[in-house]
Structure 1
Amino acid sequence: MIEQNNPLAGSEVLTLPPALRKPRLRRDEASQYLELAHGISLAPSTLATMATRGGGPAFQKINRTPLYPRTSLDEWAVEKLGDLRTSTSEE
């Protein structure tokens, strides 16, 4: 389920915990957000690895702290999930 003010909102509504309603999330919060909003389970350490090797969601840094904009997490999740399929043989 997704929040009403989220561009990905459909008919479902998710009430996020207050800590995950911020516009930018720390790595552990980003991990929780991806799980709750998109059903994607990624450990904070996996996000850290992706930040160094590439392939993860876009982030910003304030000093040494990575911050993930929620919009960036949503865009990355939609891209990774891809289109809906009706068969495993679809490419």
Structure 2
Amino acid sequence: MKTLDRLWTVDEVAGYLGVPVATLYQWRHLGTGPESHKVGRHVRYLPEDVMAWVRRQP
């Protein structure tokens, strides 16, 4: 399985972006961060969505 074939956890995205986990949850609440998905009780991210969001940042 390639890395891009699986969903990233909040901890993985926080590490990739270099921000606290709490910041990701705040961005999710405000609708300003990378697109996220609820999988059961968990929040997950598609790696390509996170990378696309990074490219769109000024």
Shorter-chain TM-score tier = 0.7 to 0.9
Amino acid of the residue matched to residue 16 of structure 2? Answer: Y
Q: Which runs of 4+ in 1 moved over 2 A?
A: none
Q: Which one has a larger percent strand, Structure 1 or Structure 2? A: 2
CA–CA separation in structure 1 for the residues paired with 2:47 and 2:16:
8
Amino acid of the residue matched to residue 48 of structure 1? Answer: Y
CA–CA separation in structure 2 for the residues paired with 1:30 and 1:56:
11
Q: Which one has a larger percent helix, Structure 1 or Structure 2? A: 2
The 5 A counterparts of 1:14-53 are 21=3, 23-34=6-17, 41-53=18-30
TM-score by length of 2: 0.82
Once superposed, what is the RMSD of the aligned Cα atoms?
A: 1.7
Question: Percent sequence identity over matched residues?
Answer: 23
TM-score by length of 1: 0.55
Structure 2: stretches of 5+ with no match in the other structure: none
Structure 2 counterpart SS, 1:71: helix
Structure 1: stretches of 5+ with no match in the other structure: 6-20, 35-40, 83-91
1:41-83 C-alpha deviation (Å, 9 max, x unpaired): 2111100001111100001111120101100000000001x3x
